[in-house]
Amino acid sequence: MRRINLAIIGGGTVGGGVYQALRRNGRLLASRLGVQLSVTRVVVRDLAKRRPVSIPPSKLTTDWKSAIRDEKNQIIVELVGGVRLAHQIVKQALMAGKAVVTANKALLSEHGQELFELARKHQTNLYYEASVAGGIPIIKVLREGLVGNRINYLYGILNGTCNYILTRMEKEGSGFAGVLEDAQRLGYAEAEPSLDVDGLDAMHKAGLLGSLAHGFWIPPEQIHVEGIREVTALDIQFANRLGYTIKLLATIRPTAKQGVQISVCPTLIPDHHVLAGVKDVFNAVYIGGDVVGETLYYGRGAGQDATASAVVSDLADAALDLVRGGESRLPAFVSHVENGSVFPWEETVAPFYLRLHVIDRPGTMARIASILAEAQIGISSIIQPEGHEGDSVPLILMVHDAKIKAMQEAVRRICRLKVVHGKPQVIRVENFEF
């Protein structure tokens, strides 16, 4: 049986998980592939560090450059995280003609075009299934399973940390800060949580999915991003009363006009929709193709085992490509749309949830409705609960489809009214009407 040697650069949670998965299921993998995968080196920062996964000391090294230079290693697995060092590693490995497997969505979001071109130039390939949605094989779905479809819509719950926080807030009526603190203590959120809770992690993933789905590279700076810090228990409570659940949702849809709408932001989803039932740390991707219709992909989006499973899947593909003489069955990314563009966020049309705090006096609602009417924005429902103490009370409006630019301007005018206090909350609504 042919042996394919690989080096794992990064011996942390995911790197250790990949080594453990290969040790656990190596024979099974070899029997299915007809190829034996052998780990020659695991590159770590500190040789003396205690690790939850036992790796023989003879395989450990701190020298990633030597792992790439070693002619025995045909595959390099980059699992160091971050961007700067990962970029150096992947770039050097591709230039050396090595196949590269990575789980690094931030790296691909920032340098994907360059790295895909390097892979093509040096006649090798870059594999990145683990970069989006952990154990859900969503990259394979778009590149292979749905290759014969035009993608009419793609919606994703792509960040388990945010989904866990919003689920807890909904179940318990708790505030964001307290639940985030619990999530950090339990290991579901990083000590510095910005990448997750500000939507950047989901944005990196959405950019990759949008690029694959629509055939042109989508730069991260063209993706509209909002995080979940401003979502309150009050918003979740009123959304539930209206028949909705709040999720951090990635939306990727071609528009009737030219361009693809792509965004990551808190969104009200109808309770009856399948994505509303995705709870805790789980991810889901809901895709509609013009031939296949609607499809759903669900599973753990992060964690040692889920990510390791996706990395091992890529290792299997890389090994089979090498057995065939190094010619990749599928290139890393094929740009096939010449004039692809991202539709401006401000021009996007959607219904909205609007929460204001207002002084409860006659004429308040009339003034607000007048401003919305002048912007040609219609109101579909109103909630003004009783029993709130203080100078102001919450006022919740659900409005019909409106252009985001018009909605933003109307809210600015409303906030200048003396009867309106504090910062408004504006959340997009997705009713999945195609």
The CA distance from 234 to 227, in Å, is 17
Determine the Cα–Cα distance for residues 397 and 180; give it in Å rounded to an integer: 28
Quick one: DSSP state of residue 145?
I
Tokens representing 178 are: 């307290």
d(CA 105, CA 115) in angstroms, rounded, equals 13
Question: Cβ–Cβ contacts within 10 Å for residue 91, how many?
Answer: 15
Find out whether 4 and 38 touch, Cβ atoms under 8 Å.
yes
Residue 369's nearest CA partner among 427, 413, 404, 401 is 413
CB 14 within 8 A of CB 311: yes
Residues 137, 413: Cα–Cα separation, whole Å: 46
Is residue 205 flagged as an active site residue?
Answer: yes
Query: What is the residue type of 380?
Result: S
Q: Taking a C-beta distance cutoff of 8 angstroms, is the pair 340, 216 a contact?
A: yes
Alpha carbon separation from 363 to 239, 353, 371, 412, 418 (Å, rounded):
25, 21, 13, 19, 12
Residue 113, burial from CB neighbour count under 10 angstroms (0-12, 13-18, 19+) = middle
Asked if 280 and 163 count as a contact pair (C-beta separation under 8 A), the reply is yes
Q: Which of 65, 205, 247, 423 is catalytic?
A: 205
| Amino acid letter, 201 | D
Contact 262, 252 (CB under 8 A): yes
Q: Which residue reads 């040096």 in tokens?
A: 122
CA distance 18 to 305: 8
Query: Which residues are tagged catalytic?
Result: 205
